Amino acid sequence: MILIKLGGSVITDKYAYRSFDAETVARLCREIAESDQGTVVVHGAGSFGHILAKRYALNSGLVDFGQVPAVAQVQYDVRELNSRIVRALMDVGLPAVGVPPGSCFVMDDGKLDVGEAEAVKRLYNIGVMPVTFGDVVMDRKRTFGICSGDQLMEVLAKMFKPKLSVFVSDVDGLYTANPKDDPGAELIPEVTPEVLKKISADSDVDDVTGGVIGKMESMLAMCSEGSECVMVNGKVPGRLKSVLMGEETVCTRARA
Ligand code: IPE
């Protein structure tokens, strides 16, 4: 089985509130279907989540009740994004069902607790793809918080023990510096914890869940569970399919 996270930067325009990249999503879903591997898709929130989450500091938990309408609005927005992703997966013949973390799971001081996730396992066992996503999730200590798609990837990797976990992003992989503003930045084909420490690749847009470094940390944590992890650029046609097919392509592989 292969676990795939479609990053918010690929499926939305991170700078424009609720802008969905239907063309890219349709192509990525085709690549997933054509690869004909058993896959489970998770997706990020992009501009359907990060913009309001940042404005109302939802990642800090309950600070004042003025945040509450934003809790509902962000949950509404990311569910709408999820419906569009599920629709695109069904359009390429993949039976998919949205599993909203905010309605199914809780967090404990920022740590996701999915319990037995029995419904998720039962969907998967009959060949339906459960599609979870970054969401606002109730928290036992902080009242609520942000659950990222990366956290869900870690939990699902423990549950399904995938042979490969793929993080689909809008960059070719991890660079020695931010490639968007440093022309000297070089792609790192293989990242280890030591390599990661040396790199500053701060995300240049509002991102409440840590940007590329956070994603690489998640990837390394998942590798220690015995799974191979890859970050690949989903904006370039064919690269996701190549990774899924086990072919050589431009990407960054994580090694614990
Ligand atoms: C963020 O999820 C969830 C919210 C802000 C509600 P992710 O952190 O997985 O989203 P992307 O991939 O960075 O957009």
**Residue carrying structure tokens 């949950």:** 75
pLDDT confidence of residue 200:
52
* Residue whose CA is at the smallest distance from ligand 1 atom 4: 49
pLDDT confidence of residue 207:
53
pLDDT confidence of residue 211:
67
Whether the CB of 78 sits within 6 Å of ligand 1:
yes
> What is the CA(30)–ligand 1 centre distance, in A?
23
Q: What is the pLDDT of residues 64-74, one digit of tens each?
A: 999 999 999 99
Question: Which structural domain, as residue segments, surrounds residue 218?
Answer: 2-254
Q: Identity (one letter) of the amino acid at 237? A: P
pLDDT confidence of residue 198:
78
Number of independent structural domains in the chain: 1
pLDDT confidence of residue 209:
52
Q: Would you say the C-alpha torsion 61, 67, 69, 75 has a positive or negative sign?
A: negative
| Nearest atom within ligand 1 for CA of residue 6 | 12
| Nearest atom within ligand 1 for CA of residue 149 | 9
By residue count, the chain amounts to 256
Q: How far apart are CA 106 and CA 176, in angstroms?
A: 36
Whether the CB of 148 sits within 6 Å of ligand 1:
yes
Q: Count Cβ atoms below 10 Å from residue 141 Cβ, excluding itself.
A: 11
Whether the CB of 203 sits within 6 Å of ligand 1:
no
Strand 174-175 to strand 187-188: parallel, antiparallel, or no bridges (unpaired)?
antiparallel
Burial per residue of 218-233, b for 16 or more beta-carbon CB atoms within 10 angstroms, e otherwise = bbbbbbeeebbbbbbb
pLDDT confidence of residue 195:
85
Q: Which residues contact 69 (CB under 8 A, 6 or more apart)?
A: none
> What is the CA(32)–ligand 1 centre distance, in A?
21
Mutate to test the pocket of ligand 1, among 42, 50, 212 (most ligand atoms within 8 A of CB): 50
The pLDDT profile of the chain, 256 residues, written as one tens digit per residue, is 999 999 999 999 989 999 999 999 999 999 999 999 999 999 999 999 999 999 999 999 999 999 999 999 999 999 999 999 999 999 999 999 999 999 999 999 999 999 999 999 999 999 999 999 999 999 999 999 999 999 999 999 999 999 999 999 998 988 887 777 788 888 989 989 888 887 754 445 445 555 677 778 878 888 876 679 999 999 999 999 999 999 999 999 998 7
The CATH number covering residue 109 comes to: 3.40.1160.10
